[in-house]
Amino acid sequence: MLNVITTNTPLFLSGVFVFGLLIGSFLNVVILRLPLRLEHDWRKQCKDLLQIADQADEPTEPPPGLLWGRSSCPKCGHAIAAQENIPLLSYLFLRGRCSSCKAPISIRYPIIEAVTAILFLMVAMRFGATVDTLAAIGLTAFLIALAGIDIDHQLLPDDLNFIVLWTGLFASLFYLFTDPVSSIIGALAGYLSLWLVFHVFRLLTGKEGMGYGDFKLLAALGAWIGWQMLPLIILLSSLVGAVIGLIMISIKRHQSSQPMPFGPFIAMAGWIALMWGKQIVDAYFRFSGLS
């Protein structure tokens, strides 16, 4: 059965797309719930350290976990039934509104589901029915979750960053996207490069230009695709970040003095480098006459 699926390209790609929709639905849960769980744990640890008693009006129960606990409408608390939780289709069937209170459902949920499915499909078309596809799909899912959380909270959780880092180092043992030496150097260079930029910028301006999560994310991407792709990732993320930032400021959706999360741009650039990094670098050398 597995051989039939992997050798039949339309069936294989269709399966990957549907799988992407399902994973995208789960990523919505991760993006929503993981920061709440982390905040709850941090508050509890701080109270235990400072020996502060819980206030009577503060909730003591932790937020729902990533795998357990049904989703509910944030407006009325209506528990979402299984038929209301089908990726993309439920949103269209419900016309973007809660079936109970008719409050609008954020368009972000179907967007993340669709984007995840499309990126998974692109990965499958790029690498075929191989272990590379399985590994790249896993990395893609983590990058989407990290980008979504950073957009919402300007936070790149260590819980996710370290998984990406260690799985990248492990994948290099099998030479999936790079070799072990390039992976280790990529992890070190990825972290230290942004760490150095951070401290130079702080010395010159007295301000912090980015967070430590950005260092760790670039280190994780360096572990996945090697140090050779780091200049491309930094260049692409800076270029895309600058363009989007200028656009948002020009349409008055963002204040110039307001910090903008850099993690989504690193994640986007890292995914592009994973998919077509070598082709982009080779094209640049040919165009510049350096090859």
Q: Does residue 256 carry a pLDDT above 60?
A: no
Task: Give dist(CA 279, CA 277) in Å, integer.
Answer: 5
**146 compared with 4, residue with greater pLDDT:** 146
Return all residues near 23 (Cβ < 8 A) that are at least 6 apart: 116, 120, 141
Whether the CB-CB separation of 160 and 140 falls below 8 Å is answered with: no
pLDDT band at 257 (very low <50, low <70, confident <90, very high): low
Residues 205-222: tens digit of each pLDDT: 877 777 889 999 999 999
> Any idea what the Cα angle at residue 148 is, between residues 174 and 170, rounded to 5°?
15
How far, in Å, are 109, 136, 169, 206, 290 from residue 164 at the CA level?
Answer: 23, 11, 9, 31, 33
**CB burial of residue 203 (10 Å; 0-12, 13-18, 19+):** exposed
CB atoms within 10 A of CB 139: 23
Task: Give dist(CA 265, CA 243) in Å, integer.
Answer: 11
Task: Give dist(CA 219, CA 263) in Å, integer.
Answer: 12
Task: Give dist(CA 286, CA 291) in Å, integer.
Answer: 6
pLDDT band at 2 (very low <50, low <70, confident <90, very high): low
The encoded tokens of residue 133 equal 């596809």
Whether the CB-CB separation of 225 and 231 falls below 8 Å is answered with: no
Q: What does the pLDDT read at residue 38?
A: 87
pLDDT band at 149 (very low <50, low <70, confident <90, very high): very high
DSSP state of 104: B
> Strand locations in the chain, DSSP E?
none
Q: What does the pLDDT read at residue 225?
A: 97
Whether the CB-CB separation of 213 and 169 falls below 8 Å is answered with: no
Q: What does the pLDDT read at residue 54?
A: 67
Q: What does the pLDDT read at residue 244?
A: 84
Q: What is the dihedral of CA 168, 172, 175, 181, to 10 degrees?
A: 130
The encoded tokens of residue 285 equal 């050398």
Q: Report, as an integer, the average pLDDT of 34-38.
A: 90
Residues 97-110: tens digit of each pLDDT: 888 888 898 999 99
Q: Average pLDDT, whole number, for the chain?
A: 88
Q: What does the pLDDT read at residue 20?
A: 98
pLDDT band at 194 (very low <50, low <70, confident <90, very high): very high
Task: Give dist(CA 115, CA 109) in Å, integer.
Answer: 10
Residue 72, φ and ψ in degrees, nearest 5: -145, 160
Mapped onto helix, strand or coil, the DSSP state of residue 263 is: helix
Nearest C-alpha neighbor of 69 from the set 107, 37, 92: 37
- 79 DSSP β-pair partners: 72
Q: Does residue 145 carry a pLDDT above 90?
A: yes
CB atoms within 10 A of CB 138: 16
Q: Does residue 254 carry a pLDDT above 60?
A: no
Residues 45-80: tens digit of each pLDDT: 887 788 777 665 666 677 777 777 778 777 787 788
